[in-house]
């Protein structure tokens, strides 16, 4: 496994300055926009309504997508791919998500999660066999993790892959559901228990070709949106999977699954900023032309508020996504679970709010199906469910840290008490020296947020111990504090690099001031440890419902 990411390092007392001071100017924007332009040429003869009504990507469009290399963006050139960096790939996703999220999802699911386990964990023979076909789109990949009764609890999967007596193959049995690209896929990354008696410890990852006997893919599920994509259930009945198709060791499945999901979450972060930027453009254009009470509605503060939110939240989501991408470019197996979780939660929830604001700004026009607003909302809605629900990601970062702390303490109560005291007293961000004065206020607030998070984690260790997962309001408070800190850290990292290149402009300073104001409100309201009055009232009301 790779090095710890910036946030994990931070909350284990380590400051990795190289993970903060980074070069954001390395993206070949010309290469990115050339590919986006070729994509627009491929789809130019089809309206979004036509594509959606067909419920599937038309064959000429699919062939065009394969021809321009869309399915091989991140595949190295030696395997026939385009060889884009992760940041360049995310810029492509950002650029096309605002056009059509349903179309964007097919290569996103293929590249970010479907075949990414091969890119990251396969041996040379496996890479030589599958990456060239994945790059051309000859083999589109899906990611088969979720099961009918198992979603976020990955270690409890019931699908099994049992090694044959002669050791030549695994016998795969079980079912998966909500699998993106199901009926487009010729290959799957499948996760299954290789040792059912040792649940979670023997989770394996396998490359499974859909043409194998015993693989059964359902018809596309009827969905609210993303009509062009393919979401299916998949059954495996006595599927003989050669041992050569296993990725890594038999027990590496959980590590592989979690690492790959980090990339998927960044893809959703990039798609979120793309949707917000497109919605921003639509809102501003409509508000400039729509006149009420003798004034364009862009002159009204409540409309301006929506436009500003879209601008700033797209900026923040983008900063966090590319900050994390840079860590993965330096170390593709870097442990960025916390950053990835924050990117996914922040991006998808803020983008959903922005889509609401865009439709609201359009007024009655926004409610018409001939306009893009309702399709965007339908298509985007699933992103708050994909790859961990918003509820899971509202608890996940502090749980990752608390479980890591418990492991370090080895279950010893005295060791935990000493660790908690040390955790509470540490001040790691104080050691980050930022030269540019425009960033000092944001950095100072980030330091205060770090202090508040440390206090919360230390108290949680002692008060809750192993029971922390049952205290979801507490975990959400820590996540909100951490997310506020991370958006400031990522913004400062990006703006510091920009200032080094020639200085910040008025817009940069204004957006940073907005983020500081938002984070200040979080700091003010989320520092308390125990339940607040609203949470106590919640408990009383729910008791009356559930009584």
532/526 Cα distance (integer angstroms): 10
**Sign, CA torsion 434/439/445/450:** negative
Bridge partner residues of 150 (DSSP): 147
User: Is 402 inside any structural domain?
Assistant: yes
Three-state DSSP class for residue 334? coil
Which CATH number characterizes residue 152's domain? Answer: 2.40.110.10
Same domain, 51 and 125: yes
User: Is 380 inside any structural domain?
Assistant: no
Same domain, 536 and 399: yes
Which CATH number characterizes residue 312's domain? Answer: 1.20.140.10
Contact at 8 Å (CB) between 188 and 142?
Answer: yes
Helix pair 440-463, 413-425: axis angle to 10 deg: 170
260/237 Cα distance (integer angstroms): 26
330-374 pLDDT tens trace: 999 999 999 999 999 999 999 999 999 999 999 999 999 999 999
Specify the DSSP class assigned to residue 429: G
pLDDT score, position 449: 97
Same domain, 148 and 202: yes
Same domain, 232 and 270: no
pLDDT score, position 199: 63
pLDDT score, position 231: 95
Residue 278 has which token pair?
Answer: 């497109």
Bridge partner residues of 207 (DSSP): 189
Q: Residue 200 — very low, low, confident or very high, per pLDDT cuts 50/70/90?
A: low
pLDDT score, position 290: 93
pLDDT score, position 54: 85
User: Is 399 inside any structural domain?
Assistant: yes
Q: Residue 506 — very low, low, confident or very high, per pLDDT cuts 50/70/90?
A: very high
- Quick one: the chain helix, strand, coil %, rounded to 5? 65, 10, 25
Q: How far is CA 377 from the centre of its chain?
A: 18
Domain boundary among 136, 165, 186: 136
* 479 has pLDDT over 80: yes
Q: How far is CA 287 from the centre of its chain?
A: 31
Same domain, 541 and 507: yes
User: Is 387 inside any structural domain?
Assistant: no
Q: Buried b / exposed e across 410-446, counting CB within 10 Å, b at 16+?
A: eeeeeebeebbeebbebebbeebebeeebbeebbebb
User: Is 241 inside any structural domain?
Assistant: yes
Neighbouring CB atoms inside 10 A of 259's CB total 24
Same domain, 98 and 148: no
Which CATH number characterizes residue 23's domain? Answer: 1.10.540.10
Burial group, residue 448, by CB count within 10 angstroms (0-12, 13-18, 19+): middle
Q: Residue 182 — very low, low, confident or very high, per pLDDT cuts 50/70/90?
A: very high
Per the listing, tokens 């509202």 go with 394
Q: Residue 547 — very low, low, confident or very high, per pLDDT cuts 50/70/90?
A: confident
241-259 pLDDT tens trace: 999 999 999 899 999 999 9
Same domain, 315 and 348: yes
Bridge partner residues of 142 (DSSP): 188
Contact at 8 Å (CB) between 169 and 243?
Answer: yes
Same domain, 491 and 466: yes
11-52 pLDDT tens trace: 999 999 999 999 888 889 999 999 999 999 999 988 888 888
- Among 92-101, 312-321, 415-424, the range with the most confident prediction by mean pLDDT is 312-321
pLDDT score, position 543: 94
234/238 Cα distance (integer angstroms): 13
Same domain, 148 and 122: no
Domain boundary among 253, 268, 295: 253
147-175 pLDDT tens trace: 998 766 777 899 999 999 999 999 999 99
Our count of domains for the chain comes to 4
Catalytic residue positions?
387
Neighbouring CB atoms inside 10 A of 186's CB total 17
308/310 Cα distance (integer angstroms): 5
Got the DSSP string for 25-85? ----HHHHHHHHHHHHHHHTTS-HHHHHHHTS--HHHHHHHHHTTGGGTTS-GGGTS----
N-terminal to C-terminal alpha carbon distance within the chain:
47
Same domain, 417 and 531: yes
Segment 59-82 shows an average pLDDT of 96
pLDDT score, position 55: 87
Q: Tell me what percent of the residues of the chain surpass a pLDDT of 90.
A: 84
196/121 Cα distance (integer angstroms): 23
Domain boundary among 136, 152, 181: 136
N residues, the chain: 547
User: Is 385 inside any structural domain?
Assistant: no
User: Is 377 inside any structural domain?
Assistant: no
pLDDT score, position 156: 81
Give the domain extent around 470: 394-546
Same domain, 197 and 132: no
Same domain, 414 and 537: yes
pLDDT score, position 103: 87
Contact at 8 Å (CB) between 276 and 317?
Answer: yes
pLDDT score, position 1: 60
Least confident of 198-202, 205-209, 466-470: 198-202
Q: Tell me what percent of the residues of the chain surpass a pLDDT of 70.
A: 99
User: Is 375 inside any structural domain?
Assistant: no
Q: Which pTM value belongs to this model?
A: 0.95
Segment 280-301 shows an average pLDDT of 96
Residue 397: which of 5, 3, 2 has the closest Cα? 5
């Amino acid at each position: 496994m790779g090095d710890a990411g910036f946030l994990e390092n931070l909350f284990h007392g380590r400051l990795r300055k190289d993970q903060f001071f980074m070069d954001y100017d390395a993206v070949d924007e010309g290469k990115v926009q050339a590919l986006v332009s070729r994509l627009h040429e491929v789809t130019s003869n089809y309206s979004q309504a036509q594509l959606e009504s067909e419920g599937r990507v038309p064959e000429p469009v699919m062939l065009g997508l394969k021809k321009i290399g869309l399915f091989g963006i991140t595949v190295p050139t030696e395997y026939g791919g385009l060889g884009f960096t992760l940041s360049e790939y995310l810029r492509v996703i950002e650029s096309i998500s605002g056009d059509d999220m349903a179309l964007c999802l097919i290569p996103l699911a293929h590249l970010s999660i479907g075949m990414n386990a091969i890119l990251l964990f396969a041996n040379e023979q496996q890479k030589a066999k599958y990456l060239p076909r994945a790059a051309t789109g000859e083999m589109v990949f899906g990611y088969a993790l979720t099961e009918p009764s198992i979603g976020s609890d990955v270690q409890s999967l019931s699908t099994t892959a049992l090694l044959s007596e002669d050791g030549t193959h695994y016998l795969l049995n079980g079912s998966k559901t909500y699998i993106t690209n199901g009926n487009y896929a010729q290959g799957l990354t499948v996760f299954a228990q290789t040792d059912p008696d040792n649940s979670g410890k023997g989770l394996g990852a396998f490359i499974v070709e859909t043409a194998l006997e015993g693989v059964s893919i359902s018809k596309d599920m009827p969905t609210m949106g993303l009509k062009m994509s393919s979401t299916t259930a998949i059954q495996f009945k006595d599927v003989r999977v050669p041992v050569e198709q296993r990725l890594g060791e038999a027990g590496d499945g959980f590590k592989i699954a979690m690492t790959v999901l980090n990339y998927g979450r960044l893809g959703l972060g990039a798609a979120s900023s793309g949707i917000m930027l497109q919605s921003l453009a639509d809102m501003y254009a409509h508000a400039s032309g729509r006149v009420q009470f003798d004034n364009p509605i862009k002159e009204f503060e409540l409309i301006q508020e929506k436009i500003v939110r879209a601008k700033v939240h797209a900026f923040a989501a983008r900063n966090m996504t590319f900050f994390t991408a840079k860590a993965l470019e330096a170390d593709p197996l870097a442990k960025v679970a916390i950053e990835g979780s924050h990117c996914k939660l922040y991006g998808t929830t803020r983008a959903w709010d922005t889509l609401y604001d865009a439709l609201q700004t359009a007024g009655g026009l926004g409610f018409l199906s001939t306009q893009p607003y309702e399709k965007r909302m339908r298509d985007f809605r699933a992103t708050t469910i994909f790859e961990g629900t918003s509820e899971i990601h509202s608890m996940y970062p502090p749980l990752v840290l608390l479980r890591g702390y418990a492991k370090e303490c080895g279950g010893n109560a005295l060791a935990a008490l000493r660790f908690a005291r040390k955790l509470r007293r540490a001040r790691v961000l104080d050691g980050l020296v930022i030269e540019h004065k425009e960033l000092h206020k944001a950095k100072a607030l980030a330091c205060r947020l770090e202090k508040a998070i440390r206090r919360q984690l230390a108290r949680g260790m002692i008060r809750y111990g192993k029971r922390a997962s049952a205290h979801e309001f507490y975990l959400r408070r820590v996540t909100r504090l951490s997310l506020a800190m991370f958006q400031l850290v990522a913004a400062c990292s990006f703006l510091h690099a920009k200032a080094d290149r020639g200085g910040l402009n008025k817009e940069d300073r204004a957006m940073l001031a907005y983020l500081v104001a938002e984070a200040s409100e979080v700091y003010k309201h989320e520092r308390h440890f125990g339940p607040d009055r609203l949470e106590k009232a919640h408990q009383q009301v729910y008791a009356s419902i559930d009584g």
